[in-house]
C-alpha cells in the first residue's frame, strides 16, 4: 500500500517544486511538508489536506485514493455535471467557496447551465457566447 507522504512527494516532484514552494502555495511550512513526506503514515488535518490538494491541482479524494487510503470503488461515481462543478470548486480560493455554495442553493432545481453560470464558469459562458457574469445575491 502506498502512503500519503509518498504520494505527496511524488506529486510535488512531478511539478518540479521544492518543499518550500509547495509549503508557500499551501500556506504551511517546508518543515511540515518534510514531516509529511518522511512519515508516510501521517495524514494532515482536513484544512491542510484541502490546501495541499488545491496547490497541487487535485482533490483530497484523488490524493487519498492514489495513496491507497480509500478504496477505488468505495463510492458511486458522481454524475458528470456534478463532477464538473466539484472540479471547478476545487480550484477556487476559499473565500469564493461560500459564494459558490450560496449560488448552488439559490439555483437548486435549475439546469446545470444556470448553476455553472452562477458559479462563474468562464468557459461555459464563452461556449454560449456571453460576456457578462450573472450576479447572485
Whether residue 73 lies inside any domain: the answer is: no
Q: Are residues 97 and 57 in the same domain?
A: no
> b or e along 119-130 (b: 16 or more beta carbons within 10 Å of the residue's beta carbon)?
bbbeebbeeeee
pLDDT top residue among 25 and 117: 25
Whether 123 contacts 88, CB under 8 Å = no
Rounded to the nearest integer, the mean pLDDT of the chain is 74
Q: Residue 124: what pLDDT? A: 43
**Residue 137, in any domain of the structure:** no
Query: Does 99 or 31 have the greater pLDDT score?
Result: 31
Print the domain residue range for 38.
4-66
Assess if residue 134 is contained within a domain.
no
Tell me the pTM.
0.54
pLDDT in tens, 78-136: 567 767 777 777 777 766 765 665 566 555 554 455 555 555 544 444 444 444 443 44
Amino acid at each position: 500500500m502506498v502512503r500519503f507522504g509518498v504520494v505527496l512527494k511524488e506529486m510535488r516532484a512531478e511539478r518540479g517544486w521544492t518543499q518550500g514552494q509547495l509549503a508557500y502555495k499551501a500556506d504551511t511550512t517546508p518543515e511540515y511538508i518534510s514531516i509529511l513526506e518522511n512519515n508516510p503514515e501521517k495524514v494532515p488535518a482536513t484544512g491542510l489536506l484541502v490546501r495541499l490538494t488545491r496547490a497541487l491541482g487535485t482533490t483530497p479524494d484523488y490524493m487519498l485514493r492514489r495513496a491507497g487510503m480509500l478504496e477505488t470503488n468505495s463510492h458511486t461515481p458522481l454524475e458528470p455535471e456534478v463532477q464538473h462543478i466539484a472540479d471547478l470548486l476545487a480550484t477556487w480560493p476559499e473565500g469564493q467557496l461560500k459564494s459558490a455554495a450560496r449560488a448552488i442553493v439559490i439555483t437548486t432545481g435549475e439546469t446545470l447551465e444556470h448553476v455553472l453560470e452562477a458559479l462563474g464558469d468562464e468557459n461555459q459562458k464563452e461556449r454560449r457566447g456571453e460576456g457578462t457574469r450573472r450576479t447572485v445575491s
